[in-house]
Each structure stands twice: as C-alpha cells, then as structure tokens.
Amino acid sequence: MIRNAFSRALVAGRAGFLQLAPQSASVAGCRHMSKVAESDEQLTARYVQYFESKDIDHWWLSKHINDLAGTDAVPEPDIIKACLHACRRLNDIAMAVRFMEIVHFKCGNRVKEIYPYVLQEVGPTLKELGIPTPEELGMDKPQLALEDVYDM
Amino acid sequence: MEMHIVSMATVTGTLLRRCSRLSAAAAPLSTSARALGGGGLPTVVERHGNRMVIGYGFNGEPNYIDRVDYPIPAVRFKEDNAQIKVLREKERGDWKKLTKEEVQELYRATFCRSFAEMQAPTGEWKLVLGGTMLACSIAVWIYLFMKVFVYEKLPDTITNPEKVEAQVQRMIDLRMNPVQGIASEWDYEKGQWKN
C-alpha cells in the first residue's frame, strides 16, 4: 500500500477526532436531525477543544474555521483565542488575520456593537501573539481591485 | 492595481510521483484523487500546480475561490517563490518581528481578496438602471412613431361632440348600466346629471 500524504492526514484527523468528546457520526453535527440541539456552551466547548488539540493541522484548521463561518453566530472569544493559538502553532499568520476578518463579517449588521467587544476580549491575545487586526493592516477597506471575469 | 485569477495549468508529472514517494511528513496534503494513485505516468494535469493544499475546499476539489460563506479555500492563492519562502521562515519565529508589509505579503500569498474587497460595491446597479431606462425610452419612441405614422385618424363618432352627445342620450334612454354605470349618474326626475 503506497503510504502517501492523504492517508496520513486522514489518520491524523481521525486520531485527533477520537481524542475529543465522544460524538458519533459526522464532525460538524449537521446530520444530527434526530438528536437534541446542542447549547451554545456545548458548541463553544467543542470548538475550543478542536482548536486546542496539539496535533491540529491545516486541514482540520480550515475545516473548523469554515464550519464556524457557516454557523449563524459570532464565535465566542474563547473560540477565537483558541483558534489564534492554533494558527500560531501552525506558523500561519495569514489564517489568523483571515479569521479576524471572518469574525468581523459574522457580526453582520450589528458590527458596531459586537466587534469592539470582541476586540476588547481578544486584544490581549492578539498583542501576545503579535497578530495585527485587519484594521491595523488597512484591510478593512479595499486595497486591490480584481477585474471581473465578465469584463475581460 | 489589478490582479487576474489565472488557473495554474502546469503539467506536474514529477509532482505526482513525488507525492507518492516522499515521506508523509514532507509531502503536501492533497485532496485530489489523482494524487492518491501514485506511481506510473501522470494522466491528468494538476491544476493547482505547486500551491499548498490547506483544506477540503467547498467541494472537495483543490481550487481557489473567494467566498464569504466559505472563507478558507482548498489551496493557497500563490505558489511559494523564493521571496515567500524567506517570509515563511520568518513566520516560524516571533510574529511581533514581522512588519505590516510582510504580514500583508503573507496574507496575499494565501488569499486573493480580503473580505472588504470581496464585498466592495461594483456599481453594477448603474448599468442595470441605465439599461432599463434606455429600453423604456425606446418603447416610448416606438409608440410615438406608431401614433404619428401608423394609426389612422380617430373616427368622427368619437371626435364630433354632437355625435357623442347623441350616443350618451341613447344610453340614458335605454337605461344602460343603471346600477353603477352611466344611467345611474342621470337623475330621471329632474332630467339632469346627478352631482
């Protein structure tokens, strides 16, 4: 059997997953139609566990961030902190900045109320890890323009 | 400054063979089924070239797409060149030592557009509104043309006031539409219009 990167990632992912809380079947819980909906605290605890696992890799980081982006919620500061530490372990500052942009986006039309609170809670972690916020980088305004494919 | 999304159609026969033979720790992650086979000649072009696969992507293919609802695509945006490699080494150390420009460089290596750029207004509404009004004005011009050049004159049963009066008198005499119509407006006792 040719041992290649894909099967390694699958094994690592499964091993990392088994260490977590005993969930059955799917990872994101999107097929649990017959089960009781989990509470916000459970969701927070679950994602904090995901991001805190020591052997997280890019695949799982992407997956969990994309799942969070798909939930109808702003991630809790605990989740954000755990995710930023996970990005640090993976030496990927681009993901950290992108994640802060995602949090800003998830605030929706109440961004003026929620985002300052998030920055206040998560600010110490950002300083500690040395991650600039998108505003500090000037990325809260468009910087580059991309030509539309229909105009080419 | 403009950027183009270009598909990286580099034939990577050596890449496919490398995927199968390198030790697991060094080989890049690949969700593509083509990379799983390994050995033998490559039959399909790996469209994502040397770009590092970082996730599953929104459909399982190693593509890059900017989506606000699926923000982390399957591959990084740019291939690693020498400049980026230097920055990546620096990234392994303390992030406080990275300058803002370097962070932006690293961000643009992984992502094409930021959220602000994805959501920036395109001004397309002006095109749509202008096009709609143009179409409406053409329609009005066509109607005016028809009125002037195509339609015949109105008959004198409509234009001649005496003939119209005679027709109305007939309607009143016949009690036409007596409930809500024209005969209901006529006061038969006084012989005049109700007001």
Contacts of B11 (CB under 8 A, 6+ apart): B42, B45
Nearest CA in chain B to A130: B96
CB contact under 8 A, B103 and A132: yes
Asked whether residue A111 falls in the same domain as residue A52, the answer is yes
Which H or E run includes B3? strand B2-3
Give the number of C-alpha atoms closer than 13 A to the C-alpha of residue B192, restricted to the C-beta side: 3
Question: Which pLDDT score, from 0 to 100, does residue A38 have?
Answer: 85
Phi and psi (nearest 5°) for B192? -155, 175
B1 C-beta neighbours (distance < 10 Å), count: 6
Asked whether residue A109 falls in the same domain as residue A65, the answer is yes
Asked whether residue A74 falls in the same domain as residue A50, the answer is yes
Helices A111-129 + A93-106 axis angle, to 10: 160
Q: In total, how many domains does chain A have?
A: 2
What's the rounded Cα separation, in Å, for the pair A137 and A59? 26
Low-confidence ranges of chain A (pLDDT < 70): 1-33
Q: B10 is written with which tokens?
A: 């580099």
What's the rounded Cα separation, in Å, for the pair B191 and B194? 9
Question: Which pLDDT score, from 0 to 100, does residue B45 have?
Answer: 59
**Cα separations in angstroms, B50 against B3, B14, B56, B83:** 19, 11, 16, 15
* DSSP-based three-state secondary structure for B146: helix
Asked whether residue A45 falls in the same domain as residue A104, the answer is yes
Asked whether residue A55 falls in the same domain as residue A97, the answer is yes
Supply the CATH number for residue A54's domain.
1.25.40.40
pTM of the entire predicted model: 0.68
Closest CA to B75 of B59, B99, B97: B59
CB contact under 8 A, A98 and B111: yes
Q: B128 is written with which tokens?
A: 């749509």
Tell me if chain B has a CB within 8 Å of the CB of A1: no
Asked whether residue A17 falls in the same domain as residue A44, the answer is no
Task: Residue A11: give the domain boundaries.
Answer: 1-35
Taking only residues 70 to 129 of chain A, the set having a beta carbon closer than 8 angstroms to any beta carbon of chain B reads 70, 88, 91-95, 97-98, 101-102, 104-105, 129
What's the rounded Cα separation, in Å, for the pair A135 and A111? 14
The DSSP symbol for A114 reads: H
A138 belongs to a structural domain: no
What's the rounded Cα separation, in Å, for the pair A100 and A65? 11
Question: Which pLDDT score, from 0 to 100, does residue B30 have?
Answer: 53
pLDDT in tens, chain B (195 residues): 444 444 444 444 444 444 444 444 444 555 555 555 555 665 555 778 888 899 998 888 888 999 999 999 999 999 989 999 999 999 999 999 999 999 999 999 999 999 999 999 988 999 999 999 999 999 999 999 999 999 999 999 999 999 999 999 999 999 999 999 999 999 999 999 998
Taking only residues 152 to 181 of chain B, the set having a beta carbon closer than 8 angstroms to any beta carbon of chain A reads none
Contacts of A77 (CB under 8 A, 6+ apart): A118, A121, A122
What's the rounded Cα separation, in Å, for the pair A47 and A29? 12
Question: Which pLDDT score, from 0 to 100, does residue A93 have?
Answer: 95
What's the rounded Cα separation, in Å, for the pair A5 and A118? 37
A57 belongs to a structural domain: yes
